Amino acid sequence: MTLLAVEGLEKRFGGVQALAGLSLSLDEGGLLCLLGPNGCGKTTFFRVLSGETAADAGRIDFADRRLEGEGPAGRARLGIARKLQTPGLFAALTVAEHLALAAASPAAHGPVDAAALLARVGLGEHAETPAGRLSHGQRQWLEIAMLLALRPRLLLLDEPTAGMTRAETRRTAALLRELNDKDGVAAIVIEHDMAFVRELDVAVAVMLQGRVVATGSYAEVGRDPLVRELYLGKRA
């Protein structure tokens, strides 16, 4: 069953056409990696999807309902949880308080076992540590754990492995896999790290200049001559 259907999304910032007819769909429990060069509109897509900014044209259907007008809080209550490109945490609050905050939110979709969740992202020992004192990788995981505590229907992760070491990146991939397989959380992940994408081995959508130009498995997309030339060729 389709969870998210995006049709012809457009967004212009002054002279920049950040989204130019983006269409995309994701099944319930699906996992999708969104690739694309810098400035192709990936974050803008997340911003529109999470209600931070309105699209100029196009439609978004989420869980059999057309999204229109709700702000970030409204979309969060519908079950869309977004991880920001730079960790969005509350520096003075402890790790445990972050989860409590999420669990008490009007957007929380059910009870959570905070201790288990923290153990899962490797923060079990750090429940009482203020977020401001965590390492970069730990912050990324805390933010993911906080979003998971909302028990969202769709997780939007904007470059979750940015600034992580190889080992941390691999752990994040494993965590995502597990979340998707075991808990059935649907997710769209923006990534630059090809090794991470290969490791995840999931469906991939390649964006270019504000629209999706290729979809398929990592291998399929990798064979697409346009994608090779425009994107992967320059990087991989």
Partner 1 sequence: MSRKRLVQGLVWLGLTLLPLFIGEWQTLQLAQFLTYGLFAMSLALAWGRLGLLSFGHALFFGLGAYAMALATMGRLPGLEAFPSSWLGLALACLVPWATAQLLGFFLFHGRGLRGAYFGITMLALAVLAERLTQGTAWLGGLNGLIGVPPLALGLDGGGPALLDPLPTYWVMLGVAFAVFLGLEMLLASSRGLAMTAVRENEDRLGFLGYDVAAIKRHGFALSAAIAGLAGALFASQFGFVSPKLIGFGLSAEVLIWTALGGREMLLAAFFGALLLSWTETVLAGLLGAYWLLALAALLVLSVLFFERGFVAGILTLLSRGRRPGRR
Chain residues binding Mg ion by CB under 5 A are 43
Ramachandran bin of 58, using left for φ above 0, alpha for ψ from -120 to 50, beta for the remaining angles: left
- How far is it between the farthest Cα atoms of the chain? 51
Confirm or reject binding of residue 160 to ligand ATP (CB under 6 A): no
Confirm or reject binding of residue 64 to partner 1 (CB under 8 A): no
Q: Which is nearer to ligand ATP, 34 or 103 (CB)?
A: 34
* 195 in Cβ contact with 169 (< 8 Å): yes
Interface stretch with partner 1, choices 65-73, 110-118, 161-169, 203-211 (CB under 8 A): 65-73
Q: Which is nearer to partner 1, 50 or 172 (CB)?
A: 50
* 141 in Cβ contact with 161 (< 8 Å): no
- Name the binder of 40 from partner 1, Mg ion, ligand ATP, none, CB < 5-8 A by kind: ligand ATP
Of the candidates 32, 38, 11, 37, the one whose C-alpha atom is nearest the C-alpha of residue 22 is 11
Confirm or reject binding of residue 23 to ligand ATP (CB under 6 A): no
The amino acid sitting at 104 is A
Is the alpha carbon torsion for 18, 19, 24, 29 positive or negative?
positive
List of residues contacting partner 1 (CB under 8 A): 50, 52, 71-73, 76-77, 81-82, 84, 88-94, 97, 100-102, 104-108, 128-130, 146, 150
